[in-house]
Structure 1
Amino acid sequence: MTPLFSRSGTGRKGLIPLICGALAAGGLAAAGATALGPEAAYASSHREAPLISGTPQYDNTDLYAFVSPDKPDTTTIVANWIPFEDPAGGPNFYTFADDAQYDIHIDNNGDAQGEMVFRYTFKTRTKNGNTFLYNTGPVTSLADPDLNVTQTYDIDLVRLRNQRVVSKTKLADDVPVAPSNVGKASMPDYGKLRSQAVYRTAGGATTFAGQADDPFFLDLRVFDLLYGGNLTEVGRDTLKGYNVNTIALQVPNDLIRESAGQPVVGVWSTTQRRNARGAYTQVSRLGNPLVNEVVNPQKDKDKFNASAPWDDAQFLKNVTQPELPKLIEGIYKIKAPAEPRNDLVDVFLKGVKGLNQPPHVRPSEELRLNTSIKPSMHPKRLGVLDGDNAGFPNGRRLTDDVVDEALQVVEGELLGTKNDLGDAVDKNDKGFGKYFPYVAEPTSGSRGPLAKGTTAGADVRSQLGDALQPAGSVTGGTDNTVLIAGSAASGAAGILLIGTAVAWWRRRMQRPY
């Protein structure tokens, strides 16, 4: 039988009816090896644990670490927070929390203890508290007075030994954050704002913080009774159009690794939140993708978010006796690999021997990267499984298809059980950049169909006239009356008269408070 979801990525279109036909004919055993991919497609730490799902500002969604493709003497780490940001989610758009420490941890000797932490802390400022607006006019720079709600951040490099602080160095102070992409009228050149948010620190690192397109790609409809109960709900990037808040940090390899002879580093990110007594408590943690979604059971999810790699022995059984292969066997009749799963321990808790496993490693959940392996000229989405040692699980690049890779490994790829399992989503909906910070620009809040009788861009601005100009720059003394017409699905038309409101708003924004 020709694989429906093949490693080459060919032959996937038009095959959903084939899957359904196989199921309808009772051919699960025959179709299982190829139709199984969607059952195991899951988001990487998007609402992965009960407690953190209720506080998205503190919720790690994904972590990436890779040798920079255009600067191979550096490593880039991308850490994301706040899952499922709707681009039009105003009037209170998406900010980092002021009462949190967003930390990137580096273990450079394999002992499961961080030797350094890059700590980001944020401060929010509001210029005008008497308006509900995030911006009061078109924003053309990060210093624009019309950007009403702004954030800045500091970076501290904390060095540790045996989990005790040895030193603390300020790397950056009061760096501006790239704002949420409210829309084309509010931010006519978002790329310019993005570029202004890239900052080089005193220690030779480069940093960025702000909104970005969610780089993770997968079909999330697994939760609708395993993709609709009959595998008809597959092949769509469910995260398409959603944004996240990103911290990106590019650092010299020599800064983070122990030595040229020991180039492997372990990376994980955490969020610490200030409690009622003023102390910080860890509430979120992320290393390898997918761990707290499908490896840890419900009883361990919140515990894992509050824990450190040094104590990961308590979760070892979740790796050596994983639940997912048993579910796959029960549903698709594909025999689960024999336990204990020491192959999974090597890949996800130690690193691959001879590739990214440090000497004398203590098993712990970290994203491990060999910083001496040069970037691939032509990255393969399946990384190490397809002979590309610069990709996952040797770190994680933005283009790595970790769902397909993890699924194939869980089903015994490294034990000789060859398979081509996947979720039929092989790449992000937006292309990634060639230069730091590499993540794609966030989807604009003004996406979607325009109102009847309007057009995009400059024409819209001309229709709205000087109502969109920054406060204090209005010319002329007459009020503009604007009619916005729209029709409902039934064909009924509605007309909203807003000219008077626009004139009042314009005068109000010029009045001192």
Structure 2
Amino acid sequence: MNARVPGVPACAVLIALAVGVLVVPGSGPARAGSHIDAPSAMLDPEINGGDLYAFTSPEAPDTVTFITTYQSLRLPVDGVMPPSTFATKARYDLNIDTRGTGTPDLTYRWTFRDEGERKFFSVLSGRVDSLSSPNLKFKQRYTLEELRPGKPSKVLVEDGIAAPSRSGAAGMPDYTKLREQAVLSLPGGIKTYAGQAADAFFNDAREMAMLKSGVEVPLPFSPLLGTNVTAMAIQVPKKALALGGDPKRNPVLGSWATAARETLDVTRGATSGDQRAEPRYAQVSRMGHVILNEALAPDNYLTPPGLARGLVMGVPGGIADQYNTWKPADDARNEHLLKMITQLKSPPMIHALHPGLARPPGNPRKDMYELLMTGLSSKARCPVGDGTDCPIKRDLNSQLLNADADPSKFTPAEMLRLNMSTPVTGNPRKGGFLDGDPQGFPNGRRLTDDPTHVLVRVAMGEPALTQNASLFGFTLATAPPTRLEASFPYLAVPHGVI
């Protein structure tokens, strides 16, 4: 595999609507993510987060699979343009919180380095049948570390090779073989993958428009057909993830992904008269409930009022940019974030345009706070409005359900929460828990879940109100925009031109 495992020998055509995004296949990279949100991240696509998934692995139910994607809306170019790459001099972290404190109890960290040069027309010099082929003139190698507070870093993979960008049938006649070679099986039952993949983001732009502004686009469509992403996936035994190594007593974990760019701080490590320049890392991307920043930030791309400004510029340095620097431990005190979550503007507009619907709850929205900040639990408290108990009385996916977690230290924070004890269903429903499928979103997020659909329904008052079915009878997004694989890493191989 050409990896050392310790212990084991063209231009995108982008039509941006005020409340949705459509991408028409073309011949080059689009400088944007699946979340048309934070201006700074959109100008740095290698760290522009797309999606975070966390779910019990269907074919290995004693494990959990996490997938993070970046560089969304990347169009197939088959070797003509520079390859899709991960950032170097950067850190990609998957953070896991089992105690509900808003701080990681476990982090998986990927760092990448280039081997060869990123040039037009020079990625290949001939047919590539394996990741070790001399004809593969550019590749990226990565290190994967496991970090736990108070313990030394544990290197899981050193010099792993990321699956390269797909480069046409002539140069890469069997890309599936290259994908298989990029999947590494590690000691302790861990599997990992890094490389390009087809984007599986399940979303109807009509419903995104409803969530964002309350005004629907005329036709439903999936905005990501035919596009690719860079992806990191890891499959980990539940015992390695759970608090105290006991997934039965402590089945719930929270996760979020961050990317950090290397900066230079000449004061760190400085001694008297001898300044030494040491690198430090600044967080520049964050993903939890990844729809949050795109749909609810007040000043990102595609946000009325100020239509022209919202379409063209976004607001550099505004809330959408700031979100990417925030840390979950501070969320409960973050007035900007709390306003995004609890002061919804779209439900009254949706109701006004559909007067036959039941009137949605008024602000502040305790149900949205519970879903996004505490997880669903009868023990959860929602300190907004009258400050009483949270309204969705279901014990589903809050760290408050972990027997060994200290409830006095529980800190509400925006993260994707998963109850690992929920059995895998043979009939996944895109509406998750609202459709009687407790394994679905917001209980983690599977590749077949539609989180936008769920959030619109909750915004309109579900599960307390159930008279809104007429809003969702017209959709073309009934499944992920690409065929999924049956086993790890589940994502489909990247789209190609030929």
Q: What's the TM-score bracket when you normalise by the shorter of the two chains? A: 0.7 to 0.9
Kindly indicate whether the alpha-carbon contact (under 8 Å) linking 1:155 and 1:172 is maintained by their aligned counterparts in 2. Answer: yes
Q: How many residues align?
A: 403
1:120 matched to which residue of 2?
110
1:366 matched to which residue of 2?
415
2:85 matched to which residue of 1?
95
User: Cα distance 1:88–1:131, how it changes in 2: closer, same or farther (>3 A)?
Assistant: closer
1:59 matched to which residue of 2?
48
Residue identity opposite 1:341 in structure 2: R
User: Cα distance 1:327–1:39, how it changes in 2: closer, same or farther (>3 A)?
Assistant: farther
Superposition pairs of residues 97-246 of structure 1, within 5 angstroms? 97-126=87-116, 132-160=121-149, 165-220=150-205, 233-246=218-231
Kindly indicate whether the alpha-carbon contact (under 8 Å) linking 1:60 and 1:286 is maintained by their aligned counterparts in 2. Answer: yes
Residue identity opposite 1:238 in structure 2: P
Kindly indicate whether the alpha-carbon contact (under 8 Å) linking 2:125 and 2:136 is maintained by their aligned counterparts in 1. Answer: yes
SS at match of 2:112: strand
In 2, distance between residues paired with 1:110 and 1:364? 8
2:497 matched to which residue of 1?
445
Q: Which has the larger radius of gyration?
A: 1
Superposition pairs of residues 302-313 of structure 1, within 5 angstroms? 302-313=321-332
Q: Is 1:317–2:339 an aligned residue pair?
A: yes
| More off after superposition, 46-55 vs 368-377 | 46-55
In 1, distance between residues paired with 2:177 and 2:228? 18
The structure 2 residue matched to 1:399, chosen from 448, 453, 456, is: 448
User: Cα distance 1:311–1:223, how it changes in 2: closer, same or farther (>3 A)?
Assistant: closer
SS at match of 1:415: coil
How far 1:179 sits from its partner (Å)? 0.7
In 1, distance between residues paired with 2:345 and 2:219? 22
Percent same amino acid at aligned positions?
Answer: 36
How far 1:332 sits from its partner (Å)? 4.9
Kindly indicate whether the alpha-carbon contact (under 8 Å) linking 2:208 and 2:452 is maintained by their aligned counterparts in 1. Answer: no
Residue identity opposite 1:177 in structure 2: A
Kindly indicate whether the alpha-carbon contact (under 8 Å) linking 1:85 and 1:243 is maintained by their aligned counterparts in 2. Answer: yes
Kindly indicate whether the alpha-carbon contact (under 8 Å) linking 1:295 and 1:324 is maintained by their aligned counterparts in 2. Answer: no
The structure 1 residue matched to 2:426, chosen from 373, 377, 380, is: 377
In 2, distance between residues paired with 1:59 and 1:373? 31
| More off after superposition, 233-242 vs 42-51 | 42-51
1:266 matched to which residue of 2?
254
TM-score with structure 2 length normalisation?
Answer: 0.76
Q: Deviations over 1:176-219 (max 9, x none)?
A: 11011111111110100000000012343100001000001334
SS at match of 2:294: helix
User: Cα distance 1:225–1:198, how it changes in 2: closer, same or farther (>3 A)?
Assistant: closer
How far 1:329 sits from its partner (Å)? 4.3
2:376 matched to which residue of 1?
352
User: Cα distance 1:345–1:83, how it changes in 2: closer, same or farther (>3 A)?
Assistant: same
| More off after superposition, 216-225 vs 389-398 | 216-225
In 2, distance between residues paired with 1:65 and 1:151? 25
How far 1:345 sits from its partner (Å)? 1.1
SS at match of 1:246: strand
TM-score with structure 1 length normalisation?
Answer: 0.74
How far 1:221 sits from its partner (Å)? 7.2
Kindly indicate whether the alpha-carbon contact (under 8 Å) linking 1:100 and 1:271 is maintained by their aligned counterparts in 2. Answer: yes
SS at match of 2:295: helix
Kindly indicate whether the alpha-carbon contact (under 8 Å) linking 1:41 and 1:219 is maintained by their aligned counterparts in 2. Answer: no
Residue identity opposite 1:284 in structure 2: S
Unaligned 5+ residue runs, structure 2? Answer: 1-16, 23-32, 266-278, 300-317, 378-394, 401-406
Kindly indicate whether the alpha-carbon contact (under 8 Å) linking 2:209 and 2:216 is maintained by their aligned counterparts in 1. Answer: no
Q: Deviations over 1:353-385 (max 9, x none)?
A: 211112134211110000111211121221111
SS at match of 2:169: coil
Q: Deviations over 1:89-119 (max 9, x none)?
A: 7320101011110100000111111111100
1:482 matched to which residue of 2?
none
SS at match of 1:184: helix
